[in-house]
Amino acid sequence: MSKFFYRPIVGIDVSADFSVIAILAPDGEIYRKPFKIMHNRNGFDYLVDQIKKVEEEFNMKTAIFMESTGVYHLTLFHFLKDTFEVCILNPLITNCNKNGDIRKVKNDKKDALTIATIGKFQNVKYSSNFDVEIYTLKSLYRDYYKFTDSKSTFKKKLSTDLRVIFPRYSSVFSDITSKTSIAVLKKYSSPEAVLNAERDELINLISNNSRKGLAHSENTYKKLYDAAEEAVYIGLKSPSLFVKIINTIAVIESLENQIKNLLSEIHLLMRSDRISDEFKKNVQLLYSIPGVGELTAITIISEIGNIKGFVKPKHLVAYFGLDPSVSQSGKFNSDRNVMSKRGTRIGRRALYAVALASIRKNRNGEPINRVLLNFYNENMKGKSKKVGLVAIMHKLINYIFSVLKNQKEYELRDPKIHSKMYLTNKSNKAA
């Protein structure tokens, strides 16, 4: 039974510019017909007046339920949370309950009633926390990932165009978006321009940007000149394609500036007093796990929120969408189950990056995480790389859960020693 069973409930179906409100009396009956408010000062004040009327009439506090709808619910939630008890529901919960009738009817009034009914009669999980600075941090790093993806898209476009115009260009510069490559392409965007360029001028351009000495610059110039000669012979010749390359470079440089600004703002925010000491400590705890970078730690902590909301590591596994989907009916039990992927997508992406780093080695040959690398090599033989990485991600979630719950930095231990310590502690507690 829901703890709000004996209280009046307010259900809010949030849209971009307005919301529809449904109110249930303590006995579960509809208190008044669902009504609409606009997302402005008058609308918000009217809603507060109506809720206070309900509380005065029944002489008890209300509970307000609304869905997490992107950013649309944030202003209303932020406006109400200091005065009333406001609960945010996962849309997956409400979607499972919205089409329970025989008739296929869906409108905002019905959805608002459904949300209120769920809050009153079902014992569902909800969230009531909202930190403006953590939300700001989330917005910043999510934009960082979006711009990074966009940059990768335009790098592929640049590579595609160069293969048509300048077929062997990638053999000269392994990274076509390196500082030296971009400098060359901006000044000499076509093979003909490279061939007609002053030799010393082009060598100096390569030398100033690469900073690898004159011999390296002369060798690069020779490769570039040979590639340009071949491109004139076999490449497509179209001035419009050269313009496209310049435009693509401009977009890449603009995205790089935006990414740089976002990272700078993230670091400034993390160093400021606006972020709680508890959050900063949790970031440092995660940073103690080998393979976890600063931005990755910030991402994972922000996505998790309060670790107290997770009782077991399995709950955290499900939150990241790494739990297996289940398909079973009667005697049929599918053996082709995949990850549910119903949790935090950004958090899963950050965790995947940590898993990749955990099974790599440093330049000196030392593994990033010796325990995870050994587990990957010994237990994942004959399995695909993706299966192995998901297993590593499960291990990492156990580490993250333990580090945050115990508020202790990660310690690299051999699994056999760790098992022995666990059994010893368990026997001591039993005694």
DSSP 164-211: HHSTTHHHH-SSTTSHHHHHHHHH--SHHHHHHS-HHHHHHHHHHHH-
- Among positive and negative, which fits the CA dihedral 52, 53, 56, 60? negative
pLDDT band at 380; cut points 50, 70, 90: confident
**Whether residue 361 has pLDDT greater than 80:** yes
- What confidence score (pLDDT) does residue 420 get? 65
Residue 85 phi/psi, 5° resolution? -90, 110
Which tokens sit at 338? 């995949």
Q: How far apart are CA 275 and CA 287, in angstroms?
A: 17
Tens digits of residue pLDDT in 49-107:
999 999 999 999 999 999 988 888 999 999 999 999 999 998 877 777 665 665 666 78
Average pLDDT over residues 308-313: 87
- Percent of the chain scoring above 70 in pLDDT: 91
pLDDT of 352 above 70: yes
pLDDT, tens digit, 9 for 90 and up, residues 94-119: 777 665 665 666 788 989 999 999 99
Q: Which stretch of 159-163, 178-182, 238-242, 390-394 has the lowest confidence by average pLDDT?
A: 238-242
Residues with Cβ within 8 Å of residue 253, at least 6 apart in sequence: 182
Averaged confidence pLDDT in the chain: 89
Write down the pLDDT at residue 26: 94
Higher pLDDT, 369 or 329: 369
Ordered by where they begin, the domains of the chain are: 9-130 (3.30.420.40), 135-266 (1.10.287), 276-326+337-430 (no CATH)
Output b/e per residue, 381-394; b: 16+ Cβ within 10 A. eeeeeeebbbbbbb
Residue 431: what pLDDT? 54
Global pTM?
0.83
Residue 424 has pLDDT above 90, yes or no: no
Asked if the model's pLDDT at residue 423 lies above 80, the reply is no
Please state which of the ranges 32-46, 59-73, 267-281, 369-383 shows the lowest mean pLDDT. 369-383
Q: Average pLDDT for residues 253-259, to the nearest whole number?
A: 96
Per-residue model confidence (pLDDT) at position 422: 58
